[in-house]
Amino acid sequence: MGKGAEQTPAHVYTWEEVQKHSHKNDQWLVIDRKVYDVTNWAQRHPGGFRLIKHYAGEDATEPFTAFHPDQKFVQKFLKPLLVGELATHEPSQDSNKNTAVVADFRELVTHLRKEGMFVARPWFFGLHLAQILLLEGGAWLLLWLWGAGWGPTLLCIMLLTIAQAQASWLQHDFGHSSVFKKTSWNHITQRFIMGHIKGVSAQWWNHRHFQHHAKPNVFSKDPDIKMVKLLVVGNVQPVEYGIKKIKFLPYNYQHKYFFLVGPPLTIPVLFHIQSMHASITHGNWEDMAWVLSFHLRYFMCYVPLCGVLGTFALVIFVRFLESHWFVWVSQMSHLPMKIDHEKHQDWLSMQLNATCNVEQSAFNDWFTGHLNFQIEHHLFPTMPRHNYHQVAPLVKALCEKHGIAYQEKPMGTAMADVYRSLKNSGELWLDAYLHK
Ligand SMILES: [Zn+2]
């Protein structure tokens, strides 16, 4: 086949035809009106196979652009998967995607690229890494100098908790490839922070987290709202559960028992089981070696100072404390927002429905790893976080133009909203359970 023939797709398709290919063993995507069969590629996709499936049968131009900073590089992988293009009479977007919103958002991304908003300042991330290493080193030095008495131990736990929480935010930056231009440098740094400093698999995190970004607050796609029947969330699920008479737990009390299951157990129990399980089932020996290096370091540093049991307790307790920090910060931007089944919305509308911001301040930026700018992070996942505050006014203006709500609140309100939304969902469930 000649070069010219290769460039001219042989087939044209309607959206109706494309939408038929949305199953695990038959997945098509549309990117810039071109139709790709990604069924076999999905298993090899570096961002995880589930991620692609979440867009099977629909237009994926916006997430494709948002996740891949080096478009030319990824185009190479797409080329062999091309099966045709959309028929000329078909619109560029499917389902509920608003063409005007898509066009304006695209223009904004082009503008931000020109303004250099996607270029990272390496010293910013270097300082964050230095902060974490100093806290980890300082915590150990405290016990080494003053012994494992109550005072030094408590201070050591405090420093380690701050180090671990800040490491969570920093590994997240590298996971999104928002620091180095070269993807491999981002990966290796993330593995060091996630694997060696935190003792968790970086690949497990990325595969889970990218799904959340691709379809936030969408049932059966976003792992962050998969509550394994422990909680009901949003306004839709509680009513569905109530009507079906599902009562795994008394959900009308979930705003109370959330404090016993969510914040304390997420990191020490759920995340560590998931991380280990994913590494073993995928045979990810590299991540397992990084995690092992974390345990070796902790045991070598702390066993001589506080014994085997003491070291074990130290690790668990730091994780328990960090888990509270992590859960409140990550939930406050999503849980009180709209949570629903797949609606196939455009990128801006979908992200703004599922995400809110917390007010900017030096403390809030540091405490949340700039995830107080959750909206900007979700719209531009590969943007370095030090630029969010510059981009936020432009996003706000675009939302205003299209009548899309842009929510920003004080941190106290945002955290109280987590409690309020759980209470509200529980009441909706009880009402449907008793009366429908
Ligand atoms: Zn993220």
Would you state the pLDDT for residue 210?
95
CA of 433 to the centre of ligand 1 (A): 36
Mean residue pLDDT of the chain comes to 92
List of domains in the chain: 3-95 (3.10.120.10), 122-219+260-332 (no CATH)
Residue 8 region by backbone torsions, left for phi larger than 0, else alpha for psi between -120 and 50, else beta: beta
CA of 190 to the centre of ligand 1 (A): 13
CA of 248 to the centre of ligand 1 (A): 31
pTM: 0.92
CA of 62 to the centre of ligand 1 (A): 16
Would you state the pLDDT for residue 60?
93
CA of 381 to the centre of ligand 1 (A): 6
**Amino acid letter, residue 192:** F
Does 10 have pLDDT greater than 80? no
pLDDT band at 8 (very low <50, low <70, confident <90, very high): low
Would you state the pLDDT for residue 27?
92
pLDDT band at 3 (very low <50, low <70, confident <90, very high): very low
Buried-exposed string 119-156: b where 16+ CB fall within 10 A, e elsewhere: ebeeeebeebbebbeebbeebbebbeeeebeeebbeeb
pLDDT in tens, 393-419: 999 999 999 999 999 999 999 999 999
The alpha carbon dihedral of 395, 398, 403, 404 has a sign of negative
Does 187 have pLDDT greater than 50? yes
pLDDT in tens, 417-433: 999 999 999 999 999 99
CA of 244 to the centre of ligand 1 (A): 34
CA of 318 to the centre of ligand 1 (A): 23
pLDDT in tens, 223-277: 999 888 899 999 999 999 999 999 999 999 999 999 998 898 988 888 999 999 9
Average pLDDT of the segment spanning 143-154: 88
pLDDT in tens, 71-123: 788 888 888 999 999 988 988 888 788 999 999 999 999 999 999 999 999 99
d(CA 100, CA 333): 26
CA of 427 to the centre of ligand 1 (A): 31
Nearest to residue 67, comparing CAs of 274, 206, 219, 225?
Answer: 206
Does 130 have pLDDT greater than 70? yes
Tokens read off for 314: 């130290």
CA of 209 to the centre of ligand 1 (A): 6
d(CA 208, CA 45): 13
CA of 184 to the centre of ligand 1 (A): 18
